[in-house]
């Protein structure tokens, strides 16, 4: 009797070794896209970008981050609103002590009483240092506080940051409840007019015709344009003396006139001396 033996099943082929092309290529796990733009600008003191719209209300908590007064005191927009009686007016300017900014600051100074008659508190806002703004405030005898925002957190939040590192001249008004009443760019006189019309004080209206020549000259100056475009501005611009009809000019004219009169008198006396 013949015994039949079962054949062993052929061994399974070993897997092929990985090639050089496949080495180091591990499939990355797929993650669900959150849909959040990582490059989105941080605005209003938070991670979300929210446009300021006139008529809408803003959340004052954290809005614009922390800023500093010209006296060196840390503060926020929320604190300024809480300290006010009716709300806050912020007028933005590119650079302290430059022509257009001086015109704007002085217009708000001259109209300070009627513009604050309904309880609004007025503040100037720029990227200048406390030292620069203190010099500006003292020299122009400004009755309101100047706010320093070197990082432009608040300037950006209210929509007046100008790329790459400039500041757009404008005015922003918010009431006690956080409602935005105004947010407009404009020239020196135009920014004052916005507030004047808003509070309904006819006596606070600015004579635009009287300041037209001054504004045109200031807005067209080279320094002003460079500042608004965010370009570097020489430090000497801050300390430049004002010579448009200042007291110093008048005193110099008087002195020159007196010298001329003395020369004339001396010449007359010499003429009157009889020849020897």
47: DSSP letter: S
Dihedral sign from CA coordinates of 95, 99, 104, 108: positive
Which one-letter DSSP state was computed for residue 6?
P
Q: One of 81, 89, 101, 206 is an active-site residue; which one? A: 101
Annotation marks residue 106 as catalytic: no
Instruction: Encode 129-162: b = buried (16+ Cβ within 10 Å), e = exposed.
Output: ebebbbbbbebbebebbbbbbeebbbbbbbbbbb
The residue length of the chain stands at 276
Q: What distances in angstroms separate CA 150 from CA 48, 51, 58, 171, 206, one per listed residue?
A: 21, 21, 22, 18, 30
Two structure tokens written together for 209: 């015709």
For the annotated catalytic residues, the residue numbers are: 101
């Amino acid at each position: 009797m013949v015994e039949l033996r079962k054949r062993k099943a052929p061994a399974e082929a070993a897997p092929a070794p990985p090639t050089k092309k496949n080495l180091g290529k591990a499939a990355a796990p797929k993650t669900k896209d959150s849909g959040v733009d990582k490059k989105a600008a941080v605005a209003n003191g938070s991670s979300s970008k929210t446009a300021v719209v006139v008529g809408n209300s803003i959340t004052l908590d954290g809005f614009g981050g922390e800023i500093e007064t010209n006296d060196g005191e840390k503060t926020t927009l929320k604190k300024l609103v809480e300290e006010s009686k009716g709300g806050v007016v912020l007028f933005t300017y590119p650079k302290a002590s430059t022509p257009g900014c001086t015109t704007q600051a002085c217009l708000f100074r001259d109209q300070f009483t009627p513009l604050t008659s309904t309880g609004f508190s007025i503040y100037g806002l720029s990227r200048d240092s406390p030292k620069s703004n203190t010099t500006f405030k003292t020299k122009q005898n400004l009755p309101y506080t100047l706010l320093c925002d070197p990082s432009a957190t608040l300037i950006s939040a209210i929509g007046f940051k100008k790329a790459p590192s400039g500041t757009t001249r404008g005015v922003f008004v918010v009431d006690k409840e956080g409602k935005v009443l105004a947010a407009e760019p404009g020239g020196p006189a135009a920014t004052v007019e916005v507030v004047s019309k808003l509070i309904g004080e006819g006596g606070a209206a600015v004579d635009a015709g009287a300041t037209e020549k001054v504004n045109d000259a200031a807005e067209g100056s080279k320094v002003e344009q460079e500042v608004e475009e965010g370009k570097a501005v020489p430090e000497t611009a801050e300390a430049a003396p004002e010579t448009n009809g200042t007291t110093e000019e008048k005193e110099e004219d008087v002195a020159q006139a007196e010298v001329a009169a003395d020369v004339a008198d001396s010449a007359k006396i010499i003429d009157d001396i009889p020849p020897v």
